[in-house]
Amino acid sequence: MFRWNDCSEGHIIIGMILTLTSLICLILTTFSVPFIKGIHFLSVPAPISVKFGAFGYCPSGSGIGAGGDCVGPKVGYGWDGDELSGWAVKAMILFGIAAIFMLLALLTLILSLLKVGKFMWNPIYFRTTALLGSLFAILAEIFALILLVRARNRFDDIGLRAKYGAALWLGMVGAISAFLG
């Protein structure tokens, strides 16, 4: 049955909370624009008015793509200018891979606590999937920072004041909590 003694030690509860926090943040980051319109990595104001996400971008206003039609969902979406690098946009898939590994880590931790099967008693399954999830989350955040800092600087060079969005910070919180979990 449920191993309450393991939970009362505290480190299991902390690991479960950090893993769940990481999973939620990585899922929200993965399903940013064009899925969830309010969560984006980078926004560029008028005259272009574009919000960039993990698998696409959504233009709006009177500039490019008037009418608000989103581009994507697509791994490695293209942008007309050279502000975004193609390889770094393709690396955004790492947020989704990290979220999958963190989901597996959470499931193996719960199954370990419930004593399901002989093999689930060993915490190596949780540790392995959590380690892989944190590595993918850290890599995804590094690639996102490289892409977005370069893109913001390039947009600033042509006179557009680009701003970072919530997805960048959600990804960072997800990577940090995955690392600590």
Domains of the chain (ranges plus CATH)? 4-180 (1.20.140.150)
Entry pTM? 0.83
Task: Tell me the C-alpha distance between 61 and 47, whole Å.
Answer: 8
* Residues counted in the chain: 181
Q: How many CA atoms lie within 13 A of 77 on its CB side?
A: 16
Instruction: Output the pLDDT for position 10.
Output: 64
Q: Are 140 and 92 in contact (CB under 8 A)?
A: yes
* 163, containing H or E segment: strand 163-164
Average pLDDT, the chain: 82
Residue 70 DSSP class: P
For residue 61, is it left (φ>0), alpha (ψ between -120 and 50) or beta? left
CB 57 within 8 A of CB 162: no
Contact partners, residue 16, CB within 8 Å, separation at least 6: 106, 109, 110
Q: What is the pLDDT of residue 63?
A: 42
| pLDDT tens profile 61-74 | 434 444 457 777 77
Listed in sequence order, the residues at least 6 apart from 100 whose beta carbon sits closer than 8 Å to its beta carbon are: 133
Q: Where is 108: in which H helix or E strand? A: helix 93-113
Tell me the β-bridge partners of 158.
none
C-alpha dihedral, 41 to 103 to 36 to 86, nearest 10°: 40
Cα distance between residue 94 and residue 58, in whole Å: 21
pLDDT, one tens digit per residue, over 90-148 is 888 999 999 999 999 999 888 877 776 666 666 788 889 999 999 999 999 999 998 88
* The pLDDT of residue 55: 84
* Residue-level pLDDT at 162: 87
